């Protein structure tokens, strides 16, 4: 008689193992199943900084967390309901995040004396009762997999490698899902290697059967689809969405996309993704360093391309002088900063929001640039398009801030209708008499985009201060003052959408403010607070320079403004300076997104002090 | 774009030239302005990109497109432009400090990639614009503002460095020899990939006479080893001969013309060109001038753009809707 | 019968001519005479950005302004009383700064049709009456000099070159001075070239005689000595004082001075000066670029030297990533930023204060550094010593801000008594068991300065986040948050002197606040205001990060705070954010110091609105 | 400082090594740890400075002083240290991206100055730490994460580049040939100025087998041209012979031993060493290994410190009071 199926509203599951155990792939597959079943979801991969630290060691642990539910999901979740730990290291590295009563599935074959010692377990946690408060499933994943695959002629190593599919099979059964999608996926992935394919399929099926038949599991679970806006969806990471957004901007503007980049975690995938899309006539130039990368992008912009450079904090530091030249030349330039833990090399694979002041002020002289920030993985698409709009319309270097959390995290994305994308077409300067390269458009204050190849407008520009209109070198005091102010006015005058406040009751006195990737955690906290009958308003700043024109009024309206940042209060400083408004900062710089719980607690403190 | 032949005047901008009286840059500028019409390229398709330094003021004085960028970065900016706009002719103007000190990395990478840039290095062996500090080409022991007791650094040999960086066209000429300078510009323009030209340039203010050995009437003929493809390599007094694995100089008086090595600028192996570059020490007693190396290798910009054409030809032009809808999707 | 001598309280004189005319030298000499006569004074050289633009052109004009008086002098002065213009270009470039009635001395030999045309004079200003409102002396400087030197066998060119000495002679007479000092100076300078020496001496004497005998001048003037603190004085520029301060710091700390630098205007003279002082066992390393310069300085600091790098804004931009490493390594490092006009290459030879936010925030991640600023040329000495104290005591990168105005400007400096200089001796970590490189001094929070060569404390450090105490690599979330905060706390806890307010009446309601090189103009304005019976307080911020601990209270005390900055309000922003206090900003970004008059006007507006 | 002889263990730090299983870096580390005691230098006087990359983790695993700095800048930091502390022995550990891409300029300047640094370039022809993009030494056409259609750049030949940058000691060795690697480390340590060592290092994860041609038993002997001072330059199958101004490879079978060029590592003229460096193309069919060049030239740090000593000897040590009171002064 079949085992009972229990319905759940949401599940948070974390896959953890050696870098070599294929946890990212396993998590991806499981995510795709949740997605196609219509669950809303959010994922958070967590890589070690080393490529592959020695097997079975703590630094070698790689994990992937998925939060899926029958309702809107805003974060990858705080505490997992289920942990799959492929070895002692994976268990040790993650056990502290597990709430009592959570389910833990481990591969007991890996709990050998040697492996336990590697991570400093005196006695096996399977024996010392330290896991008693959990719902533990210690399964012989490896041996069962190897036995099952005995018939297939592959090395033992390859057989063992398939254990992740065994585990996936177990979970597929556990969450009451069909095995079709994963089978199809495996067939595509291993089309070229029949034996490996057989092995994976069999391991997967065996895992599923094990769940179905063994005494180990008594119930399976089901998470109903979430009510989502009808449409076509795909799961997408921030870096992929950002790359797609740039391609969209190129298509919508008719400008050739030129990416000048130097690899750096966590921004490299943007270079990788665009390199794969060359059929869109994209130039990806892997430069010798960050300075050359942005220099080449600026050179391409000068030539009429959509010049883009993608990097992370340390790269921005190196690019700063060249970006200053971009400010002086007043050419479109997009700088993507996928923020990571700092200062210096810091925590390359962890997330942070501590580059805001760097991108605002990290150049010599008065050097204003536009700054915008993406708030979720899929939002990276829209913001990339926005960055292009601002850069090309105002001929100004434009920073798009992302961070490690949304860059690698994924969420379902309702695929936009290309026909509905904004028209970004631009006008280059035309052949004309007495061309004045710094004559400005009275509305945007942008100077002409005058590209080589246009007869009659030959002209010279450079990094020295230029005379108004003519653009010739000028050391004239009044002219310098004027140019400094007009460059500032141009950026201050960039049109950005008003900020929208979400205040259902209409009479909240506390505003939960945020920017960038804190959107998920803040929204989740706000929802929890409201579910508990609290009145709280929420607003998220996507445009950081210039600020939305209604921001001042908004801050006025709320006596108390809470601003959580994964830094020591960088946006808070800008707001305090600009609006002389006291901001209640909550800062944590841990290289991880905020948990919903901690933000709820912070808000409760403010609401009831 | 215009059909009527252009003249020097067409390439002369309205900006007043601001170098010190007697600066070697004037001669180079004038030679360039006279040479450009020869190219038959419309002005709007020519771009001069420079870094920072006295030499880097060059673009202002030419009525083409031009960017006076930042110190040492011209090759990077120019690479982006040349790669994205293969239809343009891009010159890089730089100095010994701009190209070899702060900009050394961009220079060698542009050369190894063979980006279609004509790079003119004005080598005055000093920092001019900042008023006279020593540079990476200053002879060891030079007393300057920053080395009152004499510099200690071994200078770069720009030709050796360029050859070590896989350069396909490497030449040396002198500011005041207009004919030779023009000939080199001509050859460089005919070359497909990167062309690297070192131009000895006198700075009368901070290092006057740095090159008198090769410019003074009494010494120059004996010092200048003329590199002419297919011709014996010699000066008025010396010839280049072989000695074991090395080459050396011999007085013409003591050798037979036939012993003199015949110059082969198209030698695929850069080793001999490199050996030639070693003949000139800081003293300039023997200085090969002319084209050290001129070999064919696909230009970077053309490779990049050909690769893109090929991809589009085989895969078809990208379709945004297709892209956005790729991967696992589902309907709600 | 001798001509009458009139006593003056103060004189502002400007020498202007071709770059080749030796105006800087002439000005220097004239300044030295004023100095040794006991006048207080302030000078302001003004170079063209080009080395030597073509003769006789406007861009080629170089000038030198001297303000000397029988009382305290705070700036080089607004409007000159006397202009010496060696050619039409010099006249045209400076005439607009001259008040009616001012004295103008010109070399009429240079007013040829050709020279006039070069600068766009249709008719000669000597003929069109445009100079009627001035007290004009059109003298045949060149020809008289050449005639006078006829006897000496030098080229005509060299003879003409001596005309600046003729002019100096005239002025030496005009201000009733002895010719001895200049004669001695010339003898020393041209010791090696007798003819040139003869020529200069004769030209100088001839000029003096011309003043004495010709009808051209009817009176000569005298400026009595100023009452100055008794002591031994010398005239000094900011860059020289800064270099001396670094040498003093090296001597007082017993640390070898290592300057890693890459030439850049207006900082190069620091490299030049230190290169001349190698007998102090100073290493000056002219690196291949700014990154290598600061990198070498950091490497030297790691080895136990006093690592210093000197640059200007664009150089700071390039150094930012390496400075971030310095923040992580927590080693002493001094970064000198002699600010110039920006952004980008900007106005290399002009002054500005627009790098404050760059040095504060121009690095990835939370990357706190110490920031201090010199306020006058001689103050550069003291602040260099302070920078060394902070950097070595707290093991933190420390920025010392100067700018083009005080770097090249000069003022009399009461030579400090070496015995009275602070003791800066430091302690390196000693040989010990289980050395912990990030164990902090509880008072300063500084980590040990553990230099190679010390047995038993071998250890590894780097740019990745480090574990508290051990300094080992750590990706641990709580540790990162802790380290970010402790690095911030260390800088916030740096001991700096309280800010002193000057409020004679004690009940002023308006505070004139400043930082950096605006000290002179602000002080002059404050003095003028008080002379006119206005009540106004003055305070100058020399410590920008951290701020003096009493700054908040000070701002509290004054309802109105005026802050003039040669930027768009950078310090104002920091103060507003930190103290939520509205600051009345007055900003001008003209590449020139403020004039006393404009600051008086600003203050009057605030005092009486 | 200690007198008892040190052992490998003394140079092994307590940090657990974090490279991928099978990474070539392990072999290099082990060879270094075994070699260091040989130097007879106390641990505290040895400093390893690295940039960023898998290879740059090296210093953590040695129980000496060490700095894991930032990407590409190790030579600059190490120069400051070596110049200010001539008593120390300073190693620079770097990768092909770290040294030749972002750090190219610092590398060539350190070499021309001849700063007393032992520079070990771990060349795995790929960016390891950032997970597999092509590097400046990747062969043209390599398919990587950033070049799915194949890279277009002509790679640097690190040996040629170093020689073009005036390097005084230039060598190449291979991670898995411990004996050869150790011999090179020994020679480099004996050299006074900069020593540049290219180490072929296999990255099993992102470019496995990059060097199989010279590591596989069946092909290596025929491919490796052994450079031994005073010995004929040959592999098991080929010898280096002269051909006009060039050199070329001939099958040993077809030539007489006497025709083979004898290696002279001390040849003051780097040209022949340069010619040798050109024998190896990306295919690695012929790869000279050993010491290309090893010549004497004053080290930069010693020159700097000697100059200072000389100045102090002649002018006397500086006196601060004198300095402050120099120039025109007056009493009030
Ligand atoms: C980032 C940066 N660093 C330093 C400078 C100062 N600077 C301008 S030109 C120059 C060197 C000039 O020498 P060179 O390149 O030989 O040109 P030259 O003036 O001799 O023609 C320097 C150091 C600068 N403008 N920008
Ligand atoms: C300024 C900066 N840019 C980029 C990076 C990212 N990054 C780290 S290591 C590396 C290259 C590694 O390649 P290589 O130097 O060959 O070392 P390997 O890992 O192969 O040993 C890059 C691009 C960085 N850490 N810092
Ligand atoms: S300083 Fe030298 S290089 Fe510069 S313009 Fe004057 S003469 Fe020419
Ligand atoms: S990625 Fe390659 S180079 Fe890096 S540790 Fe792994 S195997 Fe070694
Ligand atoms: Mg130069
Ligand atoms: Mg590598």
Distances (CA, A) of A441 to A254, A492, C339: 21, 15, 32
pLDDT of residue A306: 98
Dump strand ranges (E) for A32-155: 40-46, 61-69, 82-85, 103-107, 135-139
- pLDDT for the residue numbered C60: 86
Main-chain phi, psi angles of C194, to 5 degrees: -55, -45
Residue A587, pLDDT above cutoff 70: yes
Q: What is the pLDDT of residue C249?
A: 98
Q: Give the strand pairing for B46-50 and B65-68.
A: parallel
> Which pLDDT value is given to residue D1?
42
The residue written with tokens 């990471």 in the block is A237
D275–B149 C-beta distance less than 8 A: no
CB of residue B124 inside a 6 A radius of ligand 3: yes
C562 vs C515: CA distance, rounded Å: 12
Q: Out of C263, C265, C290, C338, give the residue to mutate to test ligand 1, the one with the largest number of ligand atoms within 8 Å of its CB.
A: C263
Could you give the percent of chain B with pLDDT greater than 90? 93
Residue bearing tokens 């194949």: D150
Q: What is the pLDDT of residue D34?
A: 97
User: Does B83 have pLDDT greater than 80?
Assistant: yes
Measure the CA–CA gap between B163 and C394, rounded to whole angstroms.
Answer: 48
* pLDDT interval class at B2 (50, 70, 90): very low
Atom number, ligand 4, closest to the C-alpha of residue D55: 3
Q: Whole-angstrom Cα distance, residue A317 to residue C364?
A: 6
Quick one: closest CA in A to B324, which residue? Answer: A415
Q: CB contact, 8 Å: A50 with chain C?
A: no
Protein residue whose Cα sits closest to atom 1 of ligand 4: D128
Query: Tell me, what DSSP letter sits at residue C574?
Result: H
Give the C:D interface size as CB pairs under 8 Å. Answer: 202
Judge: C57–B16 Cβ closer than 8 Å, yes or no: yes
CB contact under 8 A, A285 and B83: yes
What backbone phi and psi angles, to 5 degrees, belong to C122? -65, -60
Residue C463 has pLDDT above 80, yes or no: yes
Nearest CA to ligand 2 atom 6: A264
CA angle centred on B50, ends B48 and B51, rounded to 5°:
170
d(CA D25, ligand 4 centre) in Å: 8
Give pLDDT, residue D52: 98
Percent of chain C exceeding pLDDT 70 equals 100
Q: Which atom of ligand 4 is nearest to the CA of D206?
A: 2
Per-residue pLDDT tens digits for A492-508 = 999 999 999 999 999 99
The set of chains that have 3 or more CB pairs under 8 A with C is: A, B, D
Distance CA D108, CA C292 (A): 12
* Structure tokens given for C592: 């020139």
Residue C1 pLDDT level (bands cut at 50, 70, 90)? low
Nearest to B17 by CA among B54, B71, B69: B54
Mutate to test the interface with C, among B50, B60, B71 (most CBs of C within 10 A): B71
Contacts of D275 in chain B (CB under 8 A): 245, 269, 271, 274-275
- A116: pLDDT confidence band, cut at 50, 70 and 90? very high
pLDDT at B1: 42
What integer pLDDT is reported at residue C464 of this predicted model?
A: 97
The whole-angstrom separation of Cα D69 and Cα C292 is 13
3-class secondary structure, B195: strand
Strands C537-541 and C560-565: unpaired
Cα B130 from Cα A210, distance rounded (Å): 77
Which value does ipTM take for this structure? 0.96
Q: Give me the helix-helix angle, A180-189 and A23-36, nearest 10°.
A: 130
For B107-135, what is the mean pLDDT?
98
Average pLDDT for C18-46 = 90
Nearest Cα to D55, choosing from D215, D198, D195, D224? D198
| Each residue's pLDDT tens digit, A435-454 | 999 999 999 999 999 999 99
Centre of ligand 3 from the C-alpha of residue C59, in Å: 15
Its pTM stands at 0.96
Q: Cα of A319 to ligand 4 centre, how many Å?
A: 28
The protein residue with its alpha carbon nearest to ligand 1, atom 7, reads C264
Residues with CB under 5 A from ligand 5 (ion): B 95-96, 124
Q: Which long-range contacts (CB under 8 A, 24 or more apart) does B16-19 make?
A: B16/C54, B16/C57, B16/C59, B17/B61, B17/C54, B18/B57, B18/C50, B18/C53, B18/C54, B18/C57, B18/C59, B18/C60, B19/B54, B19/B57, B19/C50, B19/C51, B19/C52, B19/C54
CB-based contact D51:D72 (threshold 8 Å)? yes
CA distance A426 to A389: 9
Query: Does residue D52's CB lie within 6 angstroms of at least one atom of ligand 2?
Result: yes
Q: Count CB atoms within 10 A of the CB of residue C205.
A: 18
Q: What is the mean pLDDT of each run of 10 residues along chain D (332 residues)?
A: 77 92 96 97 98 98 98 98 98 98 98 98 98 97 98 98 98 98 98 97 96 96 97 97 90 96 97 96 93 98 98 97 94 86
Phi, psi of A545, rounded to the nearest 5 degrees = -155, 110
Phi, psi of C475 (to 5 degrees): -105, 15
pLDDT value of residue B318: 97
- Measured in angstroms, the CA of B28 and the nearest CA of chain A are apart by 19
Separation in Å, CA A99 to CA A12, A78, A175, A591, D52: 12, 10, 20, 21, 38
Q: In this predicted model, what pLDDT tens digit does every residue of C490-526 receive, in sequence order? A: 999 999 999 999 999 999 999 999 999 999 999 999 9
pLDDT at A413: 96
Find which of D19, D55, D67, D71 to mutate to test the A interface (most A CBs within 10 Å of its CB). Answer: D71
pLDDT band at A1 (very low <50, low <70, confident <90, very high): low
Q: Is the pLDDT reported for residue B4 higher than 80?
A: no
Cα–Cα distance for residue pair C12/C66, rounded to 1 Å: 6
Orientation of helix C23-36 relative to helix C163-174, angle to 10°: 30
Ligand 1 neighbours, Cβ below 6 Å, are: B 52-55, 71, 95-98, 122, 124, 126-130, 135; C 262-264, 290, 314-315, 318, 345
- Look-up of token digits 């006025």: A556
Task: Give me chain A's average pLDDT, please.
Answer: 95
* Per-residue pLDDT, B21: 87
Inter-axis angle of helices A163-174 and A180-189, nearest 10: 160
Inter-residue contact C325 to D70 (CB < 8 Å): yes
In angstroms, the CA C106 to CA D293 distance is 66
Instruction: Look at residue D2 in the predicted model and tell me its pLDDT.
Output: 47
Give the per-residue pLDDT at A3: 80
Give the tens place of pLDDT for each residue, B282-298.
889 999 999 999 999 99
pLDDT of residue C371: 98
Distance C347 CA to ligand 5 centre (A): 21
pLDDT reading at B3 higher than 60: no
The tens digit of pLDDT for each residue in C263-294 reads 999 999 999 999 999 999 999 999 999 999 99
Structure tokens at A263: 């690899």
Nearest CA in chain B to A457: B44
pLDDT-derived band at C346 (thresholds 50, 70, 90) equals very high
Q: Is the pLDDT of residue A609 over 90?
A: no
A344 has a pLDDT exceeding 80:
yes
Residue C592 neighbours by CB under 8 Å, 6+ apart: A477, C350, C351, C405
CB distance A20 to A52 below 8 Å: yes
Q: Scanning every residue of chain B, which has its alpha carbon at the shortest distance from the alpha carbon of D245?
A: B272
Q: Is A604 helix (H, G, I), strand (E, B) or coil?
A: helix
Residues of C in contact with A477 (CB under 8 A): 590-592
Specify whether the CB–CB gap between A594 and A588 falls below 8 A: yes
Cα separation of C17 and C83, whole Å? 10
- pLDDT band per the 50, 70, 90 thresholds, residue C132: very high
Of B121-125, B177-181, C186-190, give the lowest mean pLDDT range: C186-190
Q: Cα angle at C457 between C452 and C462, to 5 degrees?
A: 65
Percent of chain A with pLDDT strictly greater than 90: 91
Residues from chain C that touch D327, judged by Cβ atoms under 8 A, are 234-235
- Whether D96 is in the pocket of ligand 2, judged by its Cβ within 6 Å, is yes
Helical residues (DSSP H) of B141-210, grouped into ranges: 158-164, 178-190
Question: What local confidence, expressed as pLDDT, does residue C28 receive?
Answer: 92
- State the Cα–Cα distance between residues A444 and A447, nearest whole angstrom: 9
Rounded average pLDDT over C377-382: 98
Residue C537 bridge partners (DSSP): C511
Q: What totals of helices (H) and strands (E) does chain B contain, helices first?
A: 11, 11
Q: Which tops the pLDDT comparison, A575 or B2?
A: A575
Residues from B contacting C (CB-CB < 8 Å) are 16-21, 52, 54, 57, 70-72, 101-102, 104, 127-131, 133-134, 136, 145-149, 205
C271 Cβ under 8 Å from any chain B Cβ: yes
Residue from C313, C328, C344 to probe the interface with A (highest A Cβ count within 10 Å): C344
DSSP line for A158-223: HHHHTHHHHHHHHHHHHTT--SHHHHHHHHHHTTT-HHHHHHHHHHHHHHHHHHHHSTT---EEEE
Closest ligand 4 atom number to CA of residue D19: 5
Report CA-CA distances (Å) from B270 to A281, B124, B191, C345: 35, 26, 16, 38
């Amino acid at each position: 008689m079949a085992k009972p199926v229990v319905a759940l509203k949401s599940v948070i599951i974390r896959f953890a193992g050696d870098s070599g155990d294929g946890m990212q792939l396993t998590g991806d597959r499981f995510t795709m199943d949740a997605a196609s079943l219509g669950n809303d979801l959010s994922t958070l991969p967590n890589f070690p900084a080393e490529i592959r630290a020695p097997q079975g060691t703590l630094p070698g642990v790689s994990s992937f967390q998925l939060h899926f539910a029958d309702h809107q999901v805003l974060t990858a979740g705080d505490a997992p309901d289920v942990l799959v730990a492929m070895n002692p290291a994976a268990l040790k590295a993650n056990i502290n995040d597990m709430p009592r009563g959570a389910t833990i599935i481990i591969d007991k074959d890996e709990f050998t004396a040697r492996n336990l010692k590697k991570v400093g377990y005196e006695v096996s946690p399977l024996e010392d009762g330290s896991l008693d408060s959990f719902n533990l499933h210690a399964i012989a994943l490896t041996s069962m997999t190897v036995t099952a695959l005995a018939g297939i002629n592959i090395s033992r190593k390859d057989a063992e490698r398939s254990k992740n599919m065994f585990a996936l099979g177990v979970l597929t059964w556990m969450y009451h899902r069909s095995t079709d999608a994963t089978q199809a996926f495996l067939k595509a992935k291993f089309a070229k290697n029949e034996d490996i394919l057989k092995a994976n399929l069999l391991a997967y099926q065996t895992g599923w059967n094990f769940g179905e038949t063994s005494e180990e599991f008594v119930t399976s679970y089901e998470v109903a689809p979430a009510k989502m806006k009808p449409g076509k969806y795909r799961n997408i990471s921030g870096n992929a969405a950002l790359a797609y957004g740039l391609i969209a901007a190129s298509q919508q503007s008719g400008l050739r996309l030129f990416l000048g980049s130097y690899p750096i975690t966590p921004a490299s995938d943007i270079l990788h993704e665009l390199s794969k899309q060359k059929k869109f006539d994209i130039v990806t130039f892997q430069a010798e360093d960050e300075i050359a990368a942005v220099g080449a992008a600026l050179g391409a912009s000068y030539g009429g391309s959509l010049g883009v450079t993608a990097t992370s904090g340390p790269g921005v530091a190196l690019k700063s002088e060249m970006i200053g030249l971009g400010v002086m030349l007043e050419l479109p330039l997009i700088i993507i900063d996928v923020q990571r833990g700092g200062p210096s090399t810091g925590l390359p694979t962890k997330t942070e929001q501590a580059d805001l002041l760097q991108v605002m002020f990290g150049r010599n002289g008065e050097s204003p640039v536009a700054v915008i920030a993406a708030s979720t993985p899929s939002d990276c698409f829209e913001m990339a398009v926005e960055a292009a709009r601002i850069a090309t319309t105002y001929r100004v270097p434009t920073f798009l801030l992302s961070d490690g959390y949304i860059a690698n995290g994924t969420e379902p994305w309702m695929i936009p209708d290309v026909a509905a994308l904004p028209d970004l077409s631009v006008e280059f300067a035309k052949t004309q008499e007495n061309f004045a390269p710094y004559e400005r458009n009275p509305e945007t204050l942008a100077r002409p985009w005058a590209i080589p190849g246009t007869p009659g407008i030959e002209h010279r520009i450079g990094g020295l201060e230029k005379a108004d209109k003519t653009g010739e070198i000028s050391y004239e005091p009044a002219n310098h003052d004027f140019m400094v102010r007009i460059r500032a006015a141009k950026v201050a005058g960039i049109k950005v959408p008003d900020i929208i406040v979400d205040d259902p009751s209409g009479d909240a006195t506390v505003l939960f403010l945020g920017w960038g990737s804190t959107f998920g955690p803040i929204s989740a906290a706000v929802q929890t607070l409201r579910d508990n009958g609290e009145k709280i308003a929420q607003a998220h700043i996507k445009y950081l320079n210039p600020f939305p024109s209604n921001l001042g009024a908004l801050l006025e309206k709320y006596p108390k403004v809470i601003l959580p940042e994964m830094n020591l209060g960088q946006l808070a400083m800008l707001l305090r300076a600009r609006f002389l408004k006291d901001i209640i900062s909550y800062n944590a710089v841990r290289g991880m997104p905020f948990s919903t719980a901690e933000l709820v607690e912070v808000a409760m403190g403010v609401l009831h002090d | 774009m215009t059909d009527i032949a252009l003249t020097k005047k067409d390439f002369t901008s309205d900006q007043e030239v601001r170098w010190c009286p007697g600066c070697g840059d004037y001669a180079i500028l004038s030679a360039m302005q006279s040479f450009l019409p020869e190219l038959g390229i419309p002005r709007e398709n020519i771009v001069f990109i420079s870094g920072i330094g006295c030499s880097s003021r060059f673009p202002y004085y030419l009525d083409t497109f031009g960017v006076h960028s930042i110190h040492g970065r011209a090759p990077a900016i120019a690479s982006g432009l040349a790669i994205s706009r293969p239809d343009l002719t891009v010159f890089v103007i730089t100095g010994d400090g701009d190209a070899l000190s702060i900009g050394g990395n961009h220079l060698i990478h542009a050369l190894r990639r063979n980006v279609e840039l004509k790079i003119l290095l004005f080598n005055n062996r000093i920092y001019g614009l900042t008023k006279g500090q020593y540079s990476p080409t200053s002879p060891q022991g030079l007393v300057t503002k920053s080395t009152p007791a004499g510099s200690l650094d071994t200078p770069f040999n720009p030709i050796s460095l360029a050859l070590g960086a896989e350069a396909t066209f490497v030449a040396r000429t002198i500011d005041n020899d207009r004919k030779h300078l023009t000939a080199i510009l001509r050859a460089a323009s005919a070359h497909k990939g990167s062309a690297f030209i070192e131009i000895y340039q006198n700075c009368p203010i901070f290092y006057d006479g740095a090159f008198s050995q090769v410019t003074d009437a009494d010494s120059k003929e004996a010092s200048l080893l003329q590199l002419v493809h297919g011709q014996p390599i010699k000066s008025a007094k010396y010839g280049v001969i072989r000695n074991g694995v090395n080459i050396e100089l011999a007085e013409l008086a003591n050798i037979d013309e036939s012993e003199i090595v015949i110059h082969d600028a198209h030698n695929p192996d850069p080793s001999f060109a490199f050996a030639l570059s070693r003949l000139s020490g800081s003293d300039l007693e023997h200085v090969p001038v002319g084209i050290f190396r001129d070999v064919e290798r696909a230009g970077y910009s053309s490779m990049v753009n050909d690769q893109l054409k090929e991809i589009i030809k085989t895969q078809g032009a990208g379709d945004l809707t297709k892209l956005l809808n790729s991967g696992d999707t589902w309907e709600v």
